[in-house]
Structure 1
Amino acid sequence: MIDSATNVRIKEVSVITVYLDLQPIPFNKGFYSVDMTFFFDVAVELFSGSASVPVPVNGVAVFNKKVVLYGSEGNVKVFSSEASADEVSIIGDSRALPTAYVQVAEPVALSAKLCGGGCSCEPYYRIPEAISQLYGGELDPAPQRNNVYVTIGLFTIVQIVRSVPMTVPASEFCVPEKECVPTSDNPCELFRRIDFPVGEFFPPRAGDCDCGCSADRAR
């Protein structure tokens, strides 16, 4: 259908999976290269003539990307008390490679084109068997008379993760200096603790008056 098509239109794109390969960079300690191979499921419509009905087709698109990130290094092994005495268990080895993760937002289907024999195209990639089975069998990557090439907008976040100890600042605890006085539900004991309200029985002095009148007039 692709060989007989005269035009193609992209419909939508989704991410099938991403293969990641992490390798240390020689002579640059602590840095690692992350090779990512993206596999996309691409839905397109093929046109064989100006008045023909478009034929929907799904295929696999492949894209490679490499980044270099800092992942640190260490020289310790971590053991746990949960391990049995009859087995050797290491729960963490900081000398080992860190773990790479990639977060991929929903890709944007931008455009598609038919590429013939005279077109300078990217090399073909071998499609893994697990992905080929999603399309009913082995996908033949051999060049055809026409090939569909798509432009995809992609937003990703690549991370390198390693377990490391962290120091968290903490304040010293305070020892109480006074003994806590036990409370009672007896209303009489509660009333005895209240100070006598002397100010309620005597009028305020002239200097304490906040009514706005002068002291002479108050006399």
Structure 2
Amino acid sequence: MPDVSYGTVPRQSGNEPLTENKCTDAVCINASRIYDSCGSKDCLSNLAVYFTPCSQSVINNASSVKICKASVITADVSVESIAFHRGCYAVDVTFYFDISLEAYTCGSTIPSRVNGLAIYGKRSVLYGSESNSKSFSSDSCVVCSQPVTSCGCTEFLPNATVQISEPMALSARLIKGSVPQLPCAPIPECVITYFGDDFAVTGDASVSATIGIFTITQLERNVQIMIPSYDFCIPRKECKPESDDPCEVFSRVDFPNESFFPPNARPEEREKCNFECGCNG
């Protein structure tokens, strides 16, 4: 069997080279088709932040707080059909955020870094079409279906996918008083493990945070579709081994001109900075 050299393209019959613009065949593949999707930009204001007992003791003695960063720990996604709207489904998402704060105490100029949990729920209604078939695969574990509904029929729900960007940490506010009550729904075990302890139910102060998020929600179903086939993805280049010499690696790094000579702002960017603060005092 002859070897295929890197950088060459296999040929068809008649010694005619295969080009990217020439379709050789149509093949059937199994893929997830997106039936509906939506994007949103949400400013989540006054989110209650829950702390472990150790972090709560720091918040109790704080005089002010400053938000540093917000990140997504995990999300719980569920899908249910909408009554009297065939093919439409509600996608419920619960996001769990890690809120990083700096807490300042009276008489201290060095803040203490603490992390807390913020929870936000969101619902979207999308079209997901209808299906009366189930798929089972040899490479997946055995998963039993849910019992039939009260109407005596089985629901074939689409799959929901939610994408979220890294949250923007906007502000945090210290509130003197009791801590907020934990949500009625149980917090996932992985979130509790993430913080290393249960969350405090008592305290002398609490924190509310404001963050901004961008999300994309999609409803998908597995379908069989025909697509044009060009050829298999054969490598076009050889994998070259990396050198262990640190100086050789450093020699391939470009000189960081931007670090020494910051670029001038373009006129449209300069105009964005011309705004009034609106601060009082």
1:21 deviates by 1.3
Matches within 5 A, 1:133-212: 133-140=193-200, 142-166=201-225
- Counterpart of 1:26 in structure 2 is 83
Report the Cα distance in structure 2 between the residues aligned to 1:56 and 1:123, rounded to whole angstroms: 23
1:97 deviates by 0.7
Higher-Rg structure is 1
- Alignment of 1:124 with 2:174, yes or no, is no
Percent identity, aligned pairs only, is 41
Q: Given the superposition, is the C-alpha separation of residues 98 and 54 from structure 1 closer, same or farther in structure 2, using an over 3 Å criterion?
A: same
Report the Cα distance in structure 2 between the residues aligned to 1:36 and 1:79, rounded to whole angstroms: 26
Deviations, residues 65-124 of structure 1 (Å, cap 9, x unaligned): 1111110102345689x9xxxxxxxxxxx9611111111111111110112338xx9763
Which runs of at least 4 in structure 1 moved beyond 6 Å after TM superposition? none
Q: CA RMSD in A?
A: 2.8
- Counterpart of 1:8 in structure 2 is 65
Q: Given the superposition, is the C-alpha separation of residues 58 and 163 from structure 1 closer, same or farther in structure 2, using an over 3 Å criterion?
A: same
Larger RCO: 1 or 2 (CA < 8 Å, sep 6+): 2
- Counterpart of 1:101 in structure 2 is 161
1:22 deviates by 0.9
Report the Cα distance in structure 2 between the residues aligned to 1:67 and 1:113, rounded to whole angstroms: 29
Q: Which structure 1 segments of 5+ residues have no match?
A: 83-93, 170-219
- Counterpart of 2:174 in structure 1 is 114
Q: Please point out which of 88, 92, 103 is paired with 1:46.
A: 103
Q: Is the 8 A contact 1:127 1:139 kept in 2?
A: no
Q: Is the 8 A contact 2:134 2:156 kept in 1?
A: no
Report the Cα distance in structure 1 between the residues aligned to 2:67 and 2:131, rounded to whole angstroms: 48
Secondary structure at 2:93's aligned position in 1?
A: strand
Under a length normalisation based on structure 2, what TM-score does the superposition of the two structures give? 0.49
1:143 deviates by 5.0
Question: What residue identity is the alignment partner of 2:163?
Answer: Q
Q: Given the superposition, is the C-alpha separation of residues 79 and 143 from structure 1 closer, same or farther in structure 2, using an over 3 Å criterion?
A: closer
Q: Is the 8 A contact 2:133 2:156 kept in 1?
A: no
Question: What residue identity is the alignment partner of 2:194?
Answer: L
Report the Cα distance in structure 1 between the residues aligned to 2:187 and 2:163, rounded to whole angstroms: 22
The structure richer in strand per residue is: 2
Paired positions, count: 154
Deviations, residues 30-51 of structure 1 (Å, cap 9, x unaligned): 1111111111111100011264
Q: Please point out which of 66, 70, 73 is paired with 2:123.
A: 66
